[in-house]
Amino acid sequence: MTFPPARMITAAGLFLFLGALAIPLSAADGHKHDGHDHGHGVSEKKISAALNKLSPKDRELARAQRFCPMMPRTRLGSDGTPQKVLIDGKPVFVCCEDCVPEAKEDGRRTLSAVRKLTRAAATLAKLPPDQRADAETQKFCAVNTNSLLGSMGTPVRMTLKGQTVLLCCRGCVKKAQSRPDATLARVARLRKEAEHGDHHHGDHDHD
């Protein structure tokens, strides 16, 4: 008994097709720190203890920056005492030693990421506590998931199927409404990431 050859070709073709799909998908997953844990379920107490090891001036800067520019999903202090890096004479904080060479590699990009982080933290700090908590648990725009909430001004709030959804700007409203299920799925993923302290390199190129 023999297999119909046409069927074998189809099966082989499907395998090749799936293989070709799998490679770019995993490559797009981005850089992660594999060697250490960036703090799953990081507590505010642990963060405060790590930041307290900095000088008062540095602590203030790290608090204003709040997140690592190389790992924008990682809170400074969640991976031990943040590392200070000077770029063009400006002090910048990164989450861990692994991020130091990366921060220096493209100093301009790092400084621009730090400005966005600082601006976003300041914007969110002005929100009423419940709205601030919503923004901190979602952290990124439900349409442009690399766009930090608060980096483009006060986040835009909307309701989709009874759920609160936050967007980085008005420009994202139509896209969020046109595919409500996809938008809500992204919100769920973002909340889970924020909760577990997952982090990837994000391209913060929304403007």
H or E element, residue 94: strand 90-94
* Residue closer to Zn ion, measured from CB, 92 or 169: 169
**Residue 168 binds to Zn ion (criterion: CB under 5 A):** yes
Q: How far apart are CA 164 and CA 158, in angstroms?
A: 6
Minimal distance in Å, beta carbon 156 to Zn ion?
Answer: 8
**Residue 124 binds to Zn ion (criterion: CB under 5 A):** no
Minimal distance in Å, beta carbon 14 to Zn ion?
Answer: 38
Minimal distance in Å, beta carbon 79 to Zn ion?
Answer: 6
Q: How far apart are CA 29 and CA 163, in angstroms?
A: 27
Applying CB under 5 A, the span of 53-61, 82-90, 116-124, 168-176 interacting with Zn ion comes to: 168-176
Minimal distance in Å, beta carbon 68 to Zn ion?
Answer: 6
Three-class SS state of 67: strand
Select from 172, 176, 187, 190 the one that contacts Zn ion (CB under 5 A): 172
**Residue 165 binds to Zn ion (criterion: CB under 5 A):** no
Amino acid letter, residue 159: T
Supply the Cα-derived Rg of the chain in whole angstroms.
20
SS3 content of the chain, % helix, strand, coil (to 5): 50, 15, 35
Minimal distance in Å, beta carbon 170 to Zn ion?
Answer: 8
Q: Which of residues 102-121 bind Zn ion (CB under 5 A)?
A: none
Site string for Zn ion, 64-103 (x = CB under 5 A): -------------------------------xx-xx----
DSSP 148: B
To the nearest 10°, report the CA torsion of 192, 194, 199, 203.
100
Minimal distance in Å, beta carbon 138 to Zn ion?
Answer: 13
Q: How far apart are CA 110 and CA 105, in angstroms?
A: 9
- DSSP-assigned beta bridge partners for residue 94: 83
Select from 169, 176, 187, 190 the one that contacts Zn ion (CB under 5 A): 169
Q: Which of residues 6-65 bind Zn ion (CB under 5 A)?
A: none
Applying CB under 5 A, the span of 2-10, 45-53, 129-137, 167-175 interacting with Zn ion comes to: 167-175
Whether residue 194 contacts residue 137, with contact meaning beta carbons closer than 8 Å, is answered with yes
Q: Is the dihedral of CA 23, 28, 34, 39 positive or negative?
A: negative
